[in-house]
Amino acid sequence: MDGRTLAERLGWPPSKVSKIQLGRQSPTEGDIREWTAACGEPQAAEELLILLRNLDRRYADWRRQLRQGHAAVQRAWADAEATAQTIRSFESSCVPGLLQTADYAASVLRQHGRLHGSPPDTDSAVAARLARQQVLYEPGRKRRFLLLSESALFHSTASAPVMRAQIDRLVSATTLPTLSLGVIPQRKQQLLLPAHGFCILDDRLVTVEIYSAELRLGLPEEVALYQRVFEMLSADALYGADARRLLTTAAESWV
């Protein structure tokens, strides 16, 4: 059905249909219900209404989040991680925040700050990021599953001494009883090509960091898809002694 035909069915000006299609006008809840009914798919309205109501929450741009600096963002993450029973996190280009050393974290946060021109609060942001790591030592039934690509170990995120210390930290982390840490080898044929980093909190929320914003995906089918992605990536990862051997070789390459 073309836009003009749809407009006739709805009794709307064709320009209204066109503006909504092109993202130049936001639909109301009534518009969505009428639109889906006119297309013979009234059951689609509820999912679209969820997207409409959560539009700002789904796309949290960094410029707005970083108005008060990185420390505030880190503290918000600490709250979310502390309440989550299960965390599944994958990183393709850097070490996960929950395992970063202070020097490595400072380098990452300074890069992000330069990109967005945010307030220079690196010291307090690093302290807040390190405080987040307490969730790795909490006794109980909470589960933390962290994955990273081997390639993340070779990006020159920081100086060679910092990279060696960071990888040594990962070696130690493989022995934590509350954590499952996996490393995906570069040269292994994989079930699924790693596309980007993401974090799954329980069965309710997926976050994806892109250059402009943090995407927050909460529809059940979105969460289920990313859980499936995590399972496929996990199947290709090395754990325990195998992961330590890979990590030790990577550390020795930083001379």
Q: What is the CATH number of the domain that holds 150?
A: 3.30.870
Dihedral over Cα of 159, 161, 162, 164: its sign: positive
Q: What is the C-alpha radius of gyration for the chain, rounded to an integer number of angstroms?
A: 22
State pTM to two decimals: 0.81
Domain identity same for 108 and 151: yes
Per-residue pLDDT reduced to its tens digit, 140-185: 878 999 999 999 999 999 999 999 999 999 999 999 999 999 999 9
Q: Which residues are CB-neighbours of 97 under 8 A, at least 6 positions away?
A: 77, 105, 129, 132
Domain identity same for 15 and 113: no
- Final residue of a domain: which of 53, 68, 95? 53
The pLDDT, as a whole number, for residue 192 is 92
The pLDDT, as a whole number, for residue 56 is 65
Name the H helices within 99-193.
102-116, 122-132, 160-173
Please state, rounded to an integer, the average pLDDT across all residues of the chain: 93
CB 136 within 8 A of CB 227: no
The percent of residues in the chain predicted with pLDDT above 90, rounded, is 79
Residue 20, domain extent: 3-53
- By CB atoms closer than 10 A (0-12, 13-18, 19+), residue 214 is middle
Q: In degrees, to the nearest 5, what angle opens at C-alpha 49 toward C-alphas 48 and 50? A: 90
Domain identity same for 184 and 128: yes
User: What distance in Å separates the CA atoms of residue 89 and residue 181, rounded to the nearest whole number?
Assistant: 10
Distance, first Cα to last Cα, the chain: 63
Domain identity same for 9 and 115: no
Domain identity same for 66 and 103: yes
Domain identity same for 230 and 181: yes
If you average pLDDT over residues 92-105, what whole number do you get? 97
User: What distances in angstroms separate CA 102 from CA 50, 52, 128, one per listed residue?
Assistant: 39, 39, 10
Name the H helices within 209-239.
220-235
User: What distance in Å separates the CA atoms of residue 115 and residue 112, rounded to the nearest whole number?
Assistant: 5
User: What distance in Å separates the CA atoms of residue 175 and residue 153, rounded to the nearest whole number?
Assistant: 19
Domain identity same for 14 and 86: no
Domain identity same for 28 and 69: no
The pLDDT, as a whole number, for residue 165 is 97
Domain identity same for 104 and 225: yes
Work out how many domains the chain is built from and give that number. Answer: 2
Amino acid at 149: S
User: What distance in Å separates the CA atoms of residue 127 and residue 150, rounded to the nearest whole number?
Assistant: 26
Domain identity same for 92 and 44: no
| Residue 54 in this model has a pLDDT that exceeds 80 | no
- Final residue of a domain: which of 53, 75, 93? 53
Domain identity same for 93 and 155: yes
User: What distance in Å separates the CA atoms of residue 199 and residue 96, rounded to the nearest whole number?
Assistant: 10
* Token pair for 114: 């330069």
> In the beta sheet, which residues pair with residue 201?
87, 205
